[in-house]
C-alpha cells in the first residue's frame, strides 16, 4: 500500500491536484506575484488536502539562505553555556532562525571540526566560545566565506570579530578590593585554566607581577587580582595562586585542598570561575574549615546553589543569558549587513556580597 515511503508532497503535487502549473502553484503558496482569486483558492485547497509544506532545504538551495546559525561552546551541560545558549536561541527564534549546537569540550580539534561542519551546512552566522587564543584559522575561514562570527566569553584581538565578554579584570579587581577592605592579607586564588595554553605568572625585578598568556577570562581575572594587590601594596607570592588544568579533572580537588592546607595559610580565597568555585567550596567542607570565621570565600558566577549553601556565597555574578542574547543581537545585526568596525561588548558584572566573606581577623580570633 504505502511502498516507496510516504514522500512529502511538493509544489508539483499540489499543482497537479489543483490543475495548474508549478509556477502558479508556487505563486499561490508563496504569496508572491499575481494569482487569480479562484485559482488561489483551488491551490490552497489542494495544499491543505495534501498537507503541503515547503521543503526548506530546496528553498535554501535556491535562495542561498538557510535561516540557521551555529553555536560552538565547550559543553552545553555547563550552566554558563546552557544559559548563554538559551539567550542565543531566543534571539534566533525571534528572527525566524534555528540554532545548531555543537560541543567542543575545549578541544581545538573538535572546535575546528565543528566550525567546518557548520560552515559546510551553510549556517549564516556563528557564535563561538573559542577554546584556543592562538589557533584561529578555522575562524578566518568563516570570515572569508562571508559568515559573520561573534565571539562569546573570550575576545580574539587579532581577529576582526565582535565579541561579548565580561569585565573580567574589573570584576576581579573589585572582588579583591572587597577582601582587602575586610582586612585580608593572604588572599589565595584558584582558577581553572586551559591545559594546553596555561598562563605563566612572573615576578618583575621591581617586585611587580605580570601574567603571561593571551587574554582569556581566567588570565584577565588573575590580572585584576594582581593589580588590586599591587595598588594596595599588598604582598604577592606564587603560593597564593593555584591553577587547575581544565582537562585533568582528577587533580582539581587535590589542588583545591593543597591551596587550603598550604603552609602559607590563606585567610581568603577567590575562585575565578564556576568550576573552581564548586571545587573550593567542596574542599572547604571536606576539610571542615569554618566560613567565614576561618576563611573567607568569594566565587565567580551566581549559579543556583550559591544562595542555598551555608553560608550563602559571596560571588561575582555575570549573566550568561544576557551575554548570549547580546551575542545573538550582534550576530543578527551582522547578518543583516552591519559593516561597522568590530565591537567588543563588555558585559558588566556585579559583586554580590553574601555571608561567605567577612572581616579579618574575626572577633573570635
Partner DNA sequence: TTGTAGGCGTTATCAG
Partner DNA sequence: CTGATAACGCCTACAA
C-alpha distances in Å from residue 15, one per residue of 20, 49, 145, 272: 5, 12, 37, 62
Three-state DSSP class for residue 247: coil
Question: Is residue 39 part of the contact set for DNA (CB under 7 A)?
Answer: yes
Task: Examine residue 29 and tell whether it contacts DNA (CB under 7 A).
Answer: yes
Closer residue to DNA, CB minimum distance, 36 or 348: 36
Q: What is the nearest approach in angstroms of a copy of itself to the Cβ of residue 64? A: 9
Residues 6+ apart with CB under 8 A from 61: none
Q: Supply the minimum distance, in Å, between the C-beta of residue 36 and a copy of itself.
A: 27
What the block records as the C-alpha cell of 275 is: 568550576
Q: How far is the CB of 156 from DNA (least distance, A)?
A: 29
Instruction: Please report how close the Cβ of residue 6 comes to DNA at its closest, in angstroms.
Output: 12
Question: In the window 222-251, what residues touch DNA (CB under 7 A)?
Answer: none
Return the residues of window 48-77 that contact DNA according to CB under 7 A. Answer: 54-55, 58-59, 61-64
Among 2, 5, 6, 7, binds DNA (CB under 7 A): 7
Q: Rule CB under 7 A: is residue 11 a binding residue for DNA?
A: yes
- Neighbouring-strand partners of residue 126: 70, 149
Could you tell which of a copy of itself, DNA, none binds residue 86, using a CB distance below 5 to 8 A set by kind? a copy of itself
Nearer to a copy of itself, 13 or 141 (CB): 141
Among DNA, a copy of itself, none, residue 11 binds (CB under 5-8 Å by kind) = DNA
* Binding region for a copy of itself (CB under 8 A): 5-6, 8, 51, 53-58, 60-61, 66, 68, 75-77, 79, 82-83, 85-86, 89-90, 93, 98-103, 116-122, 141, 144-146, 278, 281-282, 285, 303-305, 307-310, 321
Alpha helices in 95-216 (DSSP H): 108-120, 137-144, 168-181
Q: 13 vs 17, 36, 49, 69, 247, CA distance in Å?
A: 6, 19, 11, 31, 54
Q: Closer CB to a copy of itself, residue 159 or residue 214?
A: 159
Long-range Cβ contact pairs of 301-306 (< 8 A, separation 24 or more) = 301/79, 301/80, 301/273, 301/274, 301/277, 302/352, 303/79, 303/274, 303/277, 304/79, 306/354
Range list of H helices, the chain: 11-18, 22-30, 37-50, 56-63, 79-94, 108-120, 137-144, 168-181, 217-231, 249-261, 274-287, 320-335
In the complex, the residues that contact DNA under the rule CB under 7 A are 7-8, 10-12, 20-24, 26-27, 29-30, 32-40, 54-55, 58-59, 61-64
Amino acid at each position: 500500500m504505502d511502498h516507496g515511503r510516504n514522500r512529502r508532497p511538493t509544489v508539483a503535487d499540489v499543482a497537479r491536484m489543483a490543475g495548474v502549473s508549478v509556477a502558479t502553484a508556487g505563486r499561490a503558496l508563496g504569496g508572491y506575484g499575481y494569482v487569480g482569486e479562484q485559482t488561489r483558492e483551488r491551490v490552497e485547497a489542494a495544499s491543505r488536502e495534501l498537507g503541503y509544506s515547503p521543503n526548506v532545504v530546496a528553498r535554501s538551495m535556491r535562495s542561498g539562505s538557510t535561516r540557521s546559525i551555529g553555536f560552538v561552546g565547550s559543553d552545553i551541560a555547563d550552566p554558563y553555556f546552557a544559559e548563554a545558549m538559551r539567550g542565543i536561541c531566543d534571539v534566533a527564534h525571534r528572527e525566524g532562525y534555528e540554532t545548531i549546537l555543537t560541543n567542543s569540550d575545549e578541544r581545538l580539534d573538535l572546535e575546528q571540526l565543528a566550525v567546518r561542519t557548520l560552515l559546510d551546512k551553510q549556517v549564516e552566522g556563528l557564535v563561538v566560545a573559542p577554546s584556543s587564543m592562538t589557533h584561529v584559522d578555522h575562524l578566518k575561514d568563516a570570515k572569508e566565506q562571508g559568515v559573520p562570527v561573534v565571539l562569546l566569553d573570550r575576545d580574539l584581538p587579532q581577529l576582526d570579530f565582535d565579541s561579548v565578554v565580561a569585565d573580567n579584570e574589573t570584576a576581579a579587581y573589585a572582588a579583591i578590593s572587597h577582601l582587602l577592605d575586610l582586612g585580608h592579607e593572604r588572599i589565595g586564588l584558584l582558577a581553572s585554566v586551559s591545559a594546553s595554553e596555561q598562563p605563566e605568572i612572573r615576578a618583575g625585578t621591581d617586585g611587580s607581577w605580570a601574567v603571561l598568556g593571551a587574554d582569556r577570562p581566567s588570565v584577565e581575572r588573575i590580572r585584576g587580582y594582581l593589580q588590586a594587590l599591587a595598588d594596595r601594596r599588598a604582598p604577592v607570592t606564587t603560593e597564593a595562586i593555584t591553577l587547575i588544568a581544565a582537562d585533568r579533572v582528577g587533580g582539581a580537588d587535590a589542588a583545591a585542598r593543597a591551596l587550603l592546607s598550604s603552609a602559607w595559610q590563606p585567610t581568603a580565597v577567590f575562585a575565578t570561575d564556576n568550576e573552581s568555585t564548586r571545587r573550593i567550596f567542596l574542599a572547604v567542607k571536606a576539610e571542615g574549615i569554618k566560613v567565614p570565621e576561618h576563611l573567607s570565600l568569594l566565587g565567580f558566577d551566581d549559579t543556583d546553589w550559591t544562595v542555598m549553601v551555608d553560608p550563602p556565597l559571596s560571588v561575582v555574578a555575570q549573566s550568561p543569558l544576557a551575554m548570549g542574547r547580546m551575542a545573538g543581537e550582534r550576530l543578527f545585526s551582522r547578518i543583516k549587513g552591519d559593516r561597522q568596525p568590530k565591537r567588543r561588548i563588555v558585559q558588566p558584572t556585579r559583586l554580590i556580597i553574601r555571608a561567605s566573606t567577612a572581616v579579618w581577623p574575626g572577633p573570635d580570633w
